[in-house]
Amino acid sequence: MYLALYRKYRPRTFNEVIGQDHIVKTLINQIKLDKISHAYLFCGSRGTGKTSTAKIFAKAINCVNSKDGSPCLECDVCKSLDGTNIDVLEIDAASNNGVDEIRELREKVKYPPVVGKYKVYIIDEVHMLSTSAFNALLKTLEEPPAHTVFVLATTEVHKLPATILSRCLRFDFKLVSLEDLSSLLKKVLDSEKVKYDEQAINIIARAGEGSVRDTLSIADRCVSFAGDELTYQKVLAVLGVSEREVLIKITDHILTKNVGEALVELDSVLSQGKSPLVFSNDLISYFRDLLLVYTLSDKSREIVVVKDDIFEKMKAQATKENYAVMVKAIEVLSEIEQELRYSVQPRIVLETAIIKVITDASLEVRVEKLEEFVKNLKFPR
């Protein structure tokens, strides 16, 4: 049976966890110094490695032949903790969120581990627990048996009661950088014997938006379409991501305050089947790159990964005169993201946003010029 890339390449040791060095180093030091806390809270965006890190940690604190803080994966304990076992229990709080499930858990924690030193409870999406379930968990979480460790994972830490937060050692998982995602993609595709070009890798990594799981899922889709050679054009065909030339055209119309031409260009793009949400996100990314080009000048060349001719066109657009429009575009387009996701008329929402960018930016420029004019006026005394 085919195994999805994000499952096939799930990290098994701390060395394979990417983009979370600040967390990995702390956990490794705790293991080496034998200073294991009774409760941990892993929070952050989806696909950043919370559950994977929790599983690695559970093995590492039980491993009898730990290598630099990571599980050896070879000893009897590591092998016995693979798959289903009674010492490392993963609980989905979304479907086990009642007080009865937590009371049952409280009874089970009394029993010592069978094969390892610690019994580890990984509660995923812990924010889904009911209020009564949180209350039932409190005392156990504060003073669990010496052989029990809790790892709570959540994407919405703000929904957790302060009483739970105060009893856990908190770790915030960051979004993974574009560079780290690109590097991982290359390793995975090399292992899968899939040829690729640099631009294809960059587009997939950008589309992943900092999530390792999302990035590998997108890569899986693209490879299924492309076969054994992943090219820039094939990725575009799968994702519907807008090409830079199209973004340059519509941006030109926005910067020159040409509402009619901007809407015509937008209609042309969306008529090809491009998603309004995807195109809006592409525009946000493009205006962000323009701001980098404007503020960092030639230093931005290392950050903005495009062909030389495209970069020259971007430099022509990223001027002081266009600064207000660039900022306004990011502000307005970011505000409509949720609306685009759920609207029955996303095209109209995006069209209205582009009109707003042009008209608001024009008004701001006029106000600035008026203020400058008044400032320079000299009145007779």
Q: What is the pLDDT of residues 241-272, one digit of tens each?
A: 567 788 999 999 999 989 999 999 999 888 87
The CATH number fitting domain 244-374, selected from 1.20.272.10, 1.10.40.30, 3.30.70.380, 1.10.150.20: 1.20.272.10
> For 136, how many CA atoms within 13 A lie in the half-sphere containing its CB?
16
**pLDDT at residue 159 is higher than 80:** yes
Report how far apart, in Å, the C-alpha atoms of 222 and of each of 2, 51, 287, 295 are. 16, 25, 26, 34
Higher pLDDT, 120 or 115: 120
Specify the pLDDT at position 130: 84
pLDDT tens readout for residues 22-79: 999 999 999 988 889 989 999 988 889 999 999 999 889 988 888 888 888 888 888 8
**Coil vs helix vs strand at 112:** coil
Q: Given the structure tokens 């000893």, which residue do they identify?
A: 75
Task: Write out the residue limits of the CATH 3.40.50.300 domain(s) in the chain.
Answer: 5-173
- Look up residue 128 and give its two tokens: 């889904």
pTM of the model: 0.72
Question: What fold, for 178-239?
Answer: Helicase, Ruva Protein; domain 3 (1.10.8)
Helix (H) or strand (E) holding 308, with range, is helix 308-317
**pLDDT at residue 21 is higher than 80:** yes
Task: Write out the residue limits of the CATH 1.20.272.10 domain(s) in the chain.
Answer: 244-374
What superfamily does domain 5-173 belong to in CATH?
Answer: P-loop containing nucleotide triphosphate hydrolases (3.40.50.300)
Strands of the chain (E only): list them: 39-44, 88-92, 119-124, 148-154, 169-173, 195-196, 229-230
What angle is formed at CA 152 by the lines to CA 151 and CA 157, rounded to 5 degrees? 145
Task: Write out the residue limits of the CATH 1.10.8.60 domain(s) in the chain.
Answer: 178-239
